[in-house]
Amino acid sequence: MAEATAPKPSSSVKLVLLGEAASSLVLRFVNNDFQENKEPTIGAAFLTQKCNLPTRTIKFEIWDTAGQERFASLAPMYYRNAQSALVVYDLTKPTSLIKAKHWVAELQRQASPGIVIALVGNKLDLTNETSGSSNAIGEDGDEAAEPEDDGDARKVSTAEAKTYAEEEGLLFFETSAKNGTNVTEVFTAIANAIPETSLKGARGPGATQSNANRAEDQSRVNLTGPRDNASKEGCAC
């Protein structure tokens, strides 16, 4: 589809989305929309959005997963062949960063080795350090709920998360899905970070699938058990 409209080369990139409040981030990116108190995802949502780079067009195929335990058996379907992942934490909740670290570890174990992972701290609008003019609007309700006197609900410092991201070789951003700060930047950065080689000839999901699968089978230790393993092999050949 993208080929028809844009003269630039276009390729599909599978992106898996994990972590707290991740849905609202992708909703901002895909639909430029924000919903207060969005209910948790049920199952998984599949969304697509194009990202225009100077030299090419990337079509993101985004899997927004619920990430609950009982869906664990579905996880391989999402991770498999994913070229990129977005792990989101809530920078007003320290526990959400711990969860995010679990997801990163999980991805490093489970997903293709070349996967590009971005760590994103969301809800920047609840801190008082953003210069954005838009974050003053409609924020009262949220801030009233916070015990902070100065209106700064931040609980996870930028330095802490950034250090972790650097150690693990992740892209790092702080965003606000509510007012849109940095959201497009995250996806553009991911698109830029995807190695050109993994995009070559990758015109459809089928092609990327076989590419990534091959790489994955060579080097990965599979920890999810025999059932999982079997299903993967079945697809790879």
Nearest to 34 by CA among 117, 119, 138, 186: 138
DSSP 146: S
86 with 120: CB under 8 angstroms? yes
* 181-210: contacts with other proteins (CB under 8 A): 205
Site string for other proteins, 105-144 (x = CB under 8 A): ----------------------------------------
* 73-92: contacts with other proteins (CB under 8 A): 73-74, 77
Please give the size of the binding site for other proteins, defined by CB under 8 A.
31
Q: How far is the CB of 93 from other proteins (least distance, A)?
A: 16
In the list 69, 149, 150, 196, the residue contacting other proteins (rule: CB under 8 A) is 69
Which span (6-14, 60-68, 99-107, 190-198) binds other proteins, by CB under 8 A? Answer: 60-68
Q: In the complex with other proteins, which residue's Cβ is closer, 44 or 189?
A: 44
Which H or E run contains 24?
helix 22-31
In the list 5, 35, 95, 197, the residue contacting other proteins (rule: CB under 8 A) is 35
Q: Helix, strand or coil for residue 228? A: helix
In the list 30, 51, 189, 207, the residue contacting other proteins (rule: CB under 8 A) is 30
Helix ranges, 72-157 (H):
75-79, 94-110, 140-145
Q: What is the dihedral of CA 186, 37, 17, 56, to 10 degrees?
A: -40
Cα separation, 154 vs 152, whole angstroms:
6
Q: How far is the CB of 20 from other proteins (least distance, A)?
A: 12
